[in-house]
């Protein structure tokens, strides 16, 4: 399968997560735990089948704390994202979750010592305006009387902050491939969520419906195992700018899938707000890539 097709497939799979989560009758922590456990087991089997090189124990020790903290961040990021789906629409949860690149831009000067350029400042302000349009319109409750959009969007932003922290921590992980790092982080996420899920939320699988079982298995195998495998194997075959552009299939498809399968709708101003959020991160990413290309081409 060619790189572009694998990446597009992965983004479309990621974009459909919200529809599946909304149809699973379990606490968000339980969904996150089972997703991580099933997904990591699937990737372990894939790595054995494809005879991936064995991970160096020395590399694991050197990156131990980063892998532990980033894995925990990913696990709790899922819990917050799934909570966002419960309190607001998939569209709103996805758009607030896509604030993660904005958080990375805001924290990069402190964590990575990167310069905060005027364009990045403009991107951050534009994204905030876009978020205001989405949140402000939700005060009317037009998207559904059973929702609490403010809480849902706060959950989405919390998930974005945790995901941004995982992205920044990954910058410091050395001598491990993207596939190895992801596999270990999924295993860590499952282990971290295990006590939280069973002792705090008292997860009980005895009364779970057949539909929920089916969707949980799909979330673990397809939305985690298969999607992550396609994503990381496609990165080796594509240029950075292509990856950045195709990555926006995820949030756009999430909005469209939610409209088709859940009957969710967005007003024109909400669409403008979403476009501002996605557009601001896109512009910033393109500028970063152009800067990297210029530095690489210097003699």
Digit-coded pLDDT (tens) for 216-267: 999 999 999 999 999 988 887 887 777 778 888 999 999 999 989 988 888 8
9: three-class secondary structure by DSSP: helix
How far, in Å, CA of 89 to CA of 21, rounded?
A: 12
The model's confidence at residue 299, banded by pLDDT at 50, 70 and 90, is very low
Residues 6+ apart with CB under 8 A from 276: 126, 127, 129, 130, 133
pLDDT band at 133 (very low <50, low <70, confident <90, very high): confident
CA 56 to chain centroid, in Å, comes to: 27
Helices (H), 88-239: 90-97, 100-111, 118-138, 149-170, 178-195, 210-220, 227-235
With 60 as the cut, is the pLDDT of residue 80 above it? yes
Give the tokens for residue 1. Answer: 């399968």
Percent of the chain with pLDDT over 90: 47
Find how far residue 46's CA is from the centre of its chain: 22
Contact 130, 274 (CB under 8 A): yes
């Amino acid at each position: 399968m060619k790189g572009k097709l694998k990446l597009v497939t992965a983004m479309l799979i990621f974009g459909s997560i919200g529809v599946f989560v909304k149809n699973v009758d379990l606490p968000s922590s339980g969904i996150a735990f089972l997703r991580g456990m099933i997904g990591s087991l699937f990737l372990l089997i894939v790595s054995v089948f494809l005879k991936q090189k064995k991970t160096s124990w020395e590399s694991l020790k050197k990156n131990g704390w980063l892998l532990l903290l980033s894995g925990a961040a990913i696990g709790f990021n899922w819990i917050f994202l799934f909570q966002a789906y419960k309190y607001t629409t998939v569209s709103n949860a996805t758009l607030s979750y896509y604030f993660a690149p904005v958080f990375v831009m805001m924290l990069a000067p402190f964590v990575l010592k990167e310069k905060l350029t005027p364009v990045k400042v403009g991107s951050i302000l534009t994204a905030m305006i876009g978020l205001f349009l989405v949140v402000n319109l939700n005060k009317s409750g037009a998207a559904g009387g059973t929702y609490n959009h403010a809480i849902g969007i706060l959950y989405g932003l919390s998930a974005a902050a945790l995901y941004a922290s995982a992205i920044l921590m990954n910058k410091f992980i050395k001598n491990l491939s993207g596939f190895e790092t992801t596999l270990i982080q999924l295993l860590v996420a499952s282990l971290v969520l295990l006590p939280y899920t069973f002792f705090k939320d008292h997860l009980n699988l005895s009364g779970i419906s057949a539909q929920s079982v089916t969707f949980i298995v799909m979330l673990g195998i397809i939305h985690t195992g298969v999607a992550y495998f396609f994503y990381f194997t496609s990165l080796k075959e594509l240029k950075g700018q292509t990856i950045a552009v195709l990555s926006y299939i995820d949030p756009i498809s999430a909005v469209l899938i939610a409209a088709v399968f859940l009957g969710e709708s967005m007003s024109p101003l909400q669409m403008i707000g979403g476009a501002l959020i996605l557009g601001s991160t896109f512009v910033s990413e393109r500028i970063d890539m152009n800067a990297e290309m210029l530095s690489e081409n210097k003699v």
